[in-house]
Structures are given as structure tokens and as C-alpha cells.
Amino acid sequence: LGTGLGIFYSNGTLPNVGYEYILLNRLLGWGTIIASAVAAMILLRLRRQRRVSQVALEDTASLLQVASTVGGLGGWRVKLPEMESYWSAEVFKILGRPHGTVPDIDTIIGWYAEKYQADVRDKFKKCVFDGHPFDTEIQVIHPDGTPHWVRLVGEAVWNDQGEIEAAQGAVQDIDKHKAVQREIESSREEWQLLAESVPMIVWTTNSLGRMSYVNQFAAGYMGSNARQLIQEGWWQYVHPDDKPNAKAIWKNALMTVQPFLAEFRVLRHDGTWRWHLARAVRVDASQGAQWYGTAMDIQDFKEAQETGSQLASRLVETMESVADAIFVLDHDWIFTYMNRQCETVLERKREELLSRCIWDEFPQARDSKFQLEYERCVKEHATVRFDAEYVPLKKHFEVSAYPHQGGVIVYFRDVTTQKRLAEQLQQAQRIDALGKLTGGVAHDFNNLLTVILGNAEILAEQFAPSTQEQALTQMISAAAQRGAEMTQRLLTFASKQSLEPQVLELNTLVKDMSPLLRRSLGQQIWVETIYCDGLWPTLVDPGQLEMALLNLAINARDAMPNGGRLLIETSNTVLDEDYAAQHMDLQAGPYVMLAVSDTGQGISKENLARVFEPFFTTKEQGKGTGLGLPTVYGFVKQSRGHVAIYSEINQGTTVKIYLPRCLENDRYTPASAVHEVRHDGQGRLVLLVEDDAQVRQISRRQLETLGYAVIEAENSQQALHQLVCEPDIALLFTDVVMPGGMSGSELAHQARTLRPDLPVLFASGYTGHAMVHHGGLGAGALLLPKPYLRSQLADKLVQAFKSAATIDLDSSLP
């Protein structure tokens, strides 16, 4: 290379050498250089490739060794004709022999289980002499005597002359595979035994939905045989109406690999169609995916379900129609069921309460007798019965609570009216007993007073006038006369006095008594009278009625020590069945009413229940006999009438006397034709505000009967909220005296602030003019006195809508 380069770079001035020779010499030298370089590069590349191939071969050999070890696979070779054997290390391990010299063929064959030896020898000979390959699974016996499954594979090796020069193959350890296979076969057998033993259709299909197995029960059920069902399928036994839906579900299951679940009718061998529930799931296995399914006869269940559904419907219908309220609570005290009566009794919609906790919706019942008894019912798993009052609703309930698996079932009824009637009965019995007692005492006193007065009169004739003895005799006579007046009152209370009833017009009696009342009450008491035009006549003892009116006026005067107003008014009224049902010994029908109202101190609820008892008084000692109201009560009852008293502390008192209308010599329109109820509601929305739940319930019923839509509120705060939330409210119908700090009149003023043209109708146990005097209502306000008939309510509502814009709630009497 160096010589060549030297020649190439010489100046070319060699002697006796031509220029062409020099150029050729130089070119040949350069070619030699290039060729040498290329040869060197090729040699380097070949050496590098050899190293890479060697590494790859070593890696491959290593991987093959790993695969051989992990896969339990060994290689063998037998050279012919020497019959010399060569084994890989893994063969020794698989056959359970120590690594070393390979024994002869006969010895090796003797290691296999005896029943396989002849077959192995035959296959090996055919491979060696005839070139037939073989692949077989046999058991080899390890030195410790334990059998192991192996797979033995062999083939002939041919030389270029077409002669067999060797046999070679592999040995694979398949003992674990065989164990798994045995488990699979055992499981398949057990599954098939189970499938054949259950009384339902059992079937399998491949991943394409082609049936591969069906049990004998299915064949017998459908009147066919298993082979025919496998070949033809059993869709032909599915009801035509159910087949499209069932096939669609099955197709979707095949596509989405989701479980198959469907209900359809299957034709039984006796020709009847019976409902079945079919289920199937896909199981992926080495042999391919399989669907395993069942179809269970649910006809009896369907029929039982239908019967149960019908019974449940009847039970619900029964529970919805019973008079008792029923609700069900779960263990978390959540309402899970309420019947229709619950809505009426609890004054709440079912939609508001279901899935809600009872203690959250009725917080005042928490820690009350209701909660204690319900918890006792659940804890003791026993029926409990109790009665209790729920104050917010002003109702008294009789309750029966029954435990059940899910919680507690509560039956309850509103016994407020019954309890009130029971209290009235108790009071009536007490008053009756007192009446009998006082009547008997009065009778004996009258006998005694007769003796005293008679003897006093005889003594008076024996003494001269102006003597001390005459004065003492007159004192005896005066005291006896006062005693006679008291016994007369006692007889009046006991309804045992002699009455002299006459057909009387109350307007005339009140007018005649007005001067006397004004003189008796004094100048501090403003007396006003309101007379009803066309007042019905009544049959009553005028003297006793005058005494009753005087007693009421005196009681009113005593309740107004600093002066006040007394209103006396008359009117025609009809007490309906609803009102009569709430009061004992009261007949529904037409009555003439005499009402006496004052603006005095009022009477507490505790004392209000006792005002008709004799000798009971709220006055200071020595200022009252306690016989005023009892004598009024006795006289009215004896006259077949009714007395009602309304009073609130610092709101005054109204006493209403109802006397039966006298139909004899009746010059007026009969009660049945007095009024025809008009249904003018036209769906207009009325906001009903009433704190008494029973009155609210009756009023709602009357309003709805008249064609009005109704929303309720039990106090002024709720009413204002409803006014803000419900723009369709067409009229406010409110009680006047309500708890909570805001009266009906104040509610009306605030409502008119929100809705200046809103019609307002008031209701009260006081008379209309009495409410004006109490300072609560303006003179122009419309008021419906309680109790009222539906016809009276209809009239007032029509009047309220017509005069809404002209009524001034702020005006009042001077």
C-alpha cells in the first residue's frame, strides 16, 4: 500500500518509462488501495454479524431452555442402526430418572405403564422401519411407583439417499393438564347429573346459539326427545305471541354477551301453555364459549302473584275506604303507606308525608306519648292501644299500633267530637244531678219559707206599727222573700218551675226592656240593640225570658267595671245537622236567636266549661250567687232551646240563646223554602283561615260543595305565605279571633296591603255587631256568625265578591 501511494504521488520522471505507463501504474496502485480497503470493511462486517448471530443463537438457546423447563418439554434422538439414544436434561426430569447414560430402548419402554408398553413398542417400530410419525399420551411409572402422564411424540429422520438414519421427538409432562382435564370431566358429569335431576328445563348452546344439550325433563315436558330438541331447537314450543320478544332478547344476549333473562309461555305435552322464566349465562372455556341456561315453570307463581295482587288491591281498597286512618312506619320511622282518611285526620297530603320521618313532619309528637308507645310496640313486638291528644291539631285520638316485620302499622281515629260529647254528657249529668239536688232542696226550702212567711204575717198583725217588734217581723218577712227568690232560681235551674209559654216576638220584648236595662246598667255602659226584620215568632215564657235577659245584662255589667258596650241583637237562624251532632239534646232546625255581647274581661277556657254549674262564679266573694247563668241554662233547656257561649280573655263574651221557631200561626215562609242554596263557586280559589281543625274541615266541605277550590291555613302567618305564593286566590275567608298574635282583622289589613281588591269574609262565634264593638272589625266588614248554614255561607260569599271594592275594613262605629 505504501509503495503504491509512493508511485502515485511521484513526479513521473523515471528514465526509459513512457507517460502512459506511469499513468497506468498509478491507477493500478490506487485500485489496489481501494480493493484492500473494501476487503477490510467486508471482513469487519462479517465478523460483527458472526458475533451478533452467535449472541442471537445463545439467546435463542437460552429461551428454548427456559421454555423447555417451564413447559415440561424434553427432546430425544435415536441414531440408526446403532440404536444409540440421546436425551435432553428435561427428559430425565420428566421420566423421573437421574441424569446420566441413556438406557436401551427396551428398558425405556419398560418404564411405561404395562398397558401402554406394547402400543409404544409398536409405534416406535413403525416410526423406525416405516417412517410413520406418532403422537400419544401414556403414563410413565416413576421409581417411587407413582404414575405420571406424558405426551410422547416421534418422527423419522431421512438422509439424502432416502434412508431412515434416526428417529427423534419430544416428551412433554402433561400430568397437571390431565388432572385439570379429569376435574373438568368430573365437573361436567356432576353438572349433567344435576341437570338431569332438577324439575326444570336445562340446556346449553354454543357461541352461535346452536343447542348442544338439553335434559330429559325438557324432552318429557314438551313431549319430544332430547336428540330431536337438539337438532331442531325448542323455539317451536314457545307461544307465538311471546316468541318475537324472547328471540330479540336472546339475540341481544348473544351480541352483547350479557345474561339472557326472559319470560314466555311454553307448550306443555298436554297442550297447555305455561309461563316460564328463562335464564342463561355465557361461560368461556378452552373448547369455546358455551351458554348454560334454564327455563323454570312459573305458572303457579304467576297465578299466585295475580291472586296476591288482587288480594293486595282489595286490601288497599278496603284500607282506603275504612273510616279509620291508617299509616305504616318502617324501622326508621319513615311513612311507607297512608290511606285516604289519614289526609283528612292529619290535615296533610300523602305526597307531603310519604318517605318522610314522622318525627320531622310532626315534631310536637317527638318524646310524647305517641313516640313512647310506638317504640314500646316495636321493642316488645306487641300490640299497644292508647289514647292521646295532639295539641297542634287540637284533636284527640284513639290509637292501635301493631308490630310487623318492616316496622309498625298504626290505626287511629279522631275521637275529638266523641270526647267533647262525652264531656258534655258528663257535664249534663253533673248539672242534672245538681238540678235534682237543688230542686229537692228548693222544694223543702219553700215549705220552710211558707211556714216562716205565714207566721211572720200573723205576728205583724199583732204588733202596732212603728214598734220594734213590727220592725223585726218585717225583717223576717224580707229575708224569707229573698229566700223564696233564691229557691225560685234553683227551681229554674232544675227546669222544674212552672212555665207559661206564649207566642212571642223577641223584638217587642227587647224593645220593652231596653229602658229598664239602660237604667239598671248605668251610664258607663253603652247599650245598643239590633233587630232582625221579619223575625220568626217563638213559643216562650216572656217573664222567664225577661229574667234571663236581665241576668245576662247584669253579668255583662259586672264584666265591665270600667264601662263598655253591651249589644243585644236578634236574628233568624237554622242549626244544621253538623252543628246539632256536636251538641247533646239539640235538634237541627229553625231557631230564633237572642244574642247578648259585651266588651268585658272575657272568661278563661277553664272557667268556660263550668259557667252553667250552680253556685260557680268568677266574681269576688259576696258579689255573686253563681245562679245567673245556671238559671238561664235551665230555662232555655226547659224551653227546648240551646245556649252557646263564646269568650276570649280580654275579647269579651257573647251568649247566644236559641229558641225553637214557633210554627203555629206562622205568618212567614216555611224554613224549608226560605233559601235555595246557590252553587256560585265556578272553581274560584278561596283561602280558608281557621285555627279550629274541625271547623276548618266542615267549612272546606261546604265551600267545595258550593263549587269553590280551597287552600287552608291554620293561622295568619301561614295565610300570608299562601297569599304570596298563590296569585290565583280570589277571596280570603278568615276567622276573627285566632292564636299566634295576629287576629283575622289584622290579617285582612295585611292581605289588602298585598292585594287591595281582595274580597274578605270574616267568621266568628260572636255576632257581627259585637265584633264591631270589640274594635276588631270595621263597620263595613262582612261577617258570618257561627254556626252558619251552607246557604248563609253562599249568600255571604256572593255578597263579598260583589262588594269587594266598596268595603272599607278601616271604618268603625263611633
Q: Does residue 74 sit in helix, strand or coil?
A: strand
The Cα–Cα gap between 200 and 484 comes to 101
Residue 4 confidence class, pLDDT cut points 50, 70, 90: very low
**Model confidence pLDDT, tens digit, residues 247-302:** 999 999 988 889 999 999 999 999 999 999 999 998 887 667 888 999 999 998 88
Buried/exposed 763-774: b ≥16 CB within 10 Å, e otherwise: bbbbbbbbbbbb
Pairing of strands 685-689, 407-414: unpaired
Query: Which of the pair, 10 or 680, is modelled with greater confidence?
Result: 680
CA atoms within 13 A on the CB side of 123: 18
The Cα–Cα gap between 642 and 471 comes to 45
User: Whose CA is closest to 617, among 607, 605, 609?
Assistant: 607
The Cα–Cα gap between 396 and 681 comes to 33
Report the side by side order of strands in the sheet with 201-206: 211-214, 201-206, 290-297, 273-283, 260-267
Mean pLDDT, to the nearest integer, of 709-734? Answer: 93
Q: Provide the 10 A C-beta neighbour count for residue 431.
A: 22
pLDDT at 809 over 80: no
Buried/exposed 316-337: b ≥16 CB within 10 Å, e otherwise: eeebeeeebbbbbbeeebbbee
732, 766: one domain: yes
pLDDT at 185 over 60: yes
Instruction: Determine if residue 589 is left, alpha or beta; phi over 0 gives left, psi from -120 to 50 gives alpha, anything else beta.
Output: left
Q: Is the dihedral of CA 630, 631, 632, 637 positive or negative?
A: positive
512, 534: one domain: yes
The Cα–Cα gap between 339 and 404 comes to 18
CA atoms within 13 A on the CB side of 158: 9
Q: What is the CA radius of gyration of the chain?
A: 58
270, 366: one domain: no
Q: Does residue 348 sit in helix, strand or coil?
A: coil
**Model confidence pLDDT, tens digit, residues 624-665:** 566 677 778 888 888 889 988 888 888 889 999 999 998 754
Contacts 24+ apart (CB under 8 A), 695-704: 695/735, 695/786, 696/347, 697/344, 697/347, 698/578, 699/733, 699/763, 699/793, 702/790, 702/793, 703/733, 703/793
Query: Which of the pair, 5 or 114, is modelled with greater confidence?
Result: 114
Q: Provide the 10 A C-beta neighbour count for residue 148.
A: 18
pLDDT of residue 67: 46
The residue out of 244, 270, 303 marking a domain boundary is: 303
pLDDT at 21 over 60: no
The Cα–Cα gap between 321 and 45 comes to 104
User: Whose CA is closest to 84, among 99, 98, 111, 105?
Assistant: 105
- pLDDT above 70 covers what percent of the chain? 77
Is-contact 572 669, C-beta < 8 A?
Answer: no
pLDDT of residue 667: 41
484, 552: one domain: no
Buried/exposed 601-628: b ≥16 CB within 10 Å, e otherwise: bbbeeeebebbbbbeebbeeeeebeebb
Residue type, 165: E
pLDDT of residue 375: 92
Q: Which residues pair with 648 in a beta bridge?
A: 652
168, 280: one domain: no
113, 96: one domain: yes
Q: Which residues pair with 686 in a beta bridge?
A: 710, 731
Cell triple for 440: 229537692
- pLDDT above 90 covers what percent of the chain? 30
Query: Which of the pair, 577 or 539, is modelled with greater confidence?
Result: 539
Is-contact 631 493, C-beta < 8 A?
Answer: yes
pLDDT of residue 7: 43
Is-contact 226 219, C-beta < 8 A?
Answer: yes
**Do you know the residue count of the chain?**
814
Residue that the C-alpha cell 275529638 belongs to: 416
**Model confidence pLDDT, tens digit, residues 580-591:** 877 767 888 999
> Domain for residue 310, yes or no?
no
> Domain for residue 814, yes or no?
no
Residue that the C-alpha cell 452467535 belongs to: 54
Residue that the C-alpha cell 259585637 belongs to: 770
Q: Provide the 10 A C-beta neighbour count for residue 785.
A: 25
Angle at 774 between CA 768 and CA 780, to 5 degrees: 45
Instruction: Determine if residue 381 is left, alpha or beta; phi over 0 gives left, psi from -120 to 50 gives alpha, anything else beta.
Output: left
Residue that the C-alpha cell 436425551 belongs to: 87
34, 88: one domain: no
Is-contact 437 488, C-beta < 8 A?
Answer: no
User: Whose CA is closest to 739, among 756, 718, 754?
Assistant: 718
Mean pLDDT, to the nearest integer, of 67-86? Answer: 77
User: What CATH number is associated with residue 586?
Assistant: 3.30.565.10
CA 264 to chain centre: 34
Cell triple for 283: 361461560
**Model confidence pLDDT, tens digit, residues 655-696:** 999 999 987 544 433 333 334 445 567 889 999 998 878 778
The residue out of 173, 208, 238 marking a domain boundary is: 173
pLDDT at 81 over 50: yes
pLDDT at 145 over 80: yes
User: What CATH number is associated with residue 167?
Assistant: 3.30.450.20
User: Whose CA is closest to 511, among 526, 524, 530, 536?
Assistant: 530
pLDDT at 55 over 70: no
The Cα–Cα gap between 618 and 616 comes to 7
Residue 330 confidence class, pLDDT cut points 50, 70, 90: very high
User: Whose CA is closest to 498, among 536, 463, 446?
Assistant: 446
**Residue 520 to residues 122, 524, 525, 549, 594: CA-CA distances in angstroms?**
147, 11, 10, 12, 19
User: What CATH number is associated with residue 704?
Assistant: 3.40.50.2300
Is-contact 322 341, C-beta < 8 A?
Answer: yes
Is-contact 762 785, C-beta < 8 A?
Answer: no
651, 547: one domain: yes
Residues 6+ apart with CB under 8 A from 196: 202, 215, 216, 217
Q: Which domain holds residue 696?
A: 676-802
Residue 158 confidence class, pLDDT cut points 50, 70, 90: very high
Would you give the end-to-end CA distance of the chain in angstroms? 147
Query: Which of the pair, 188 or 337, is modelled with greater confidence?
Result: 337
Residue 807 confidence class, pLDDT cut points 50, 70, 90: low
- Most confidently modeled of 260-269, 319-328, 584-593, 799-808? 260-269
The structure's pTM equals 0.41
pLDDT at 446 over 90: no
The Cα–Cα gap between 156 and 77 comes to 10
Mean pLDDT, to the nearest integer, of 85-95? Answer: 87
**Model confidence pLDDT, tens digit, residues 23-44:** 555 555 555 556 556 666 666 6
Query: Which of the pair, 432 or 609, is modelled with greater confidence?
Result: 609
561, 651: one domain: yes
- Most confidently modeled of 31-35, 154-158, 434-438? 154-158
**Residue 66 to residues 70, 95, 670: CA-CA distances in angstroms?**
6, 18, 119
642, 538: one domain: yes
Instruction: Tell me the angle at which helices 744-754 and 716-725 cross, rounded to the nearest 10 degrees.
Output: 20
> Domain for residue 811, yes or no?
no
pLDDT of residue 9: 42
605, 512: one domain: yes
The Cα–Cα gap between 103 and 118 comes to 18
> Domain for residue 78, yes or no?
yes
Cell triple for 424: 258534655
pLDDT at 519 over 70: yes
- Most confidently modeled of 571-575, 577-581, 792-796? 571-575
Q: Is the dihedral of CA 450, 451, 455, 456 positive or negative?
A: negative
Mean pLDDT, to the nearest integer, of 395-408? Answer: 90
> How many structural domains does the chain have?
7
> Domain for residue 227, yes or no?
yes
Helix (H) or strand (E) holding 140: strand 134-141
Under DSSP, the state recorded for 269 is: T
> Domain for residue 316, yes or no?
no
Residue 471 confidence class, pLDDT cut points 50, 70, 90: confident
CA 449 to chain centre: 73
pLDDT at 229 over 70: yes
pLDDT at 354 over 80: yes
The Cα–Cα gap between 148 and 141 comes to 6
The residue out of 122, 152, 173 marking a domain boundary is: 173
Residue that the C-alpha cell 291472586 belongs to: 307
pLDDT at 520 over 50: yes
Q: Is the dihedral of CA 366, 372, 377, 383 positive or negative?
A: negative
pLDDT at 813 over 90: no
**Model confidence pLDDT, tens digit, residues 522-568:** 888 899 999 999 999 999 888 888 888 888 888 888 888 888 999 99
**Residue 512 to residues 508, 529, 805: CA-CA distances in angstroms?**
6, 12, 39
pLDDT of residue 814: 29
> Domain for residue 315, yes or no?
no
185, 280: one domain: yes
**Residue 79 to residues 104, 130, 151, 480: CA-CA distances in angstroms?**
12, 15, 21, 160
Mean pLDDT, to the nearest integer, of 156-173? Answer: 91
Q: Which residues pair with 295 in a beta bridge?
A: 201, 278
pLDDT at 211 over 60: yes
Task: Tell me what the pLDDT averaged over the chain comes to.
Answer: 80
> Domain for residue 668, yes or no?
no
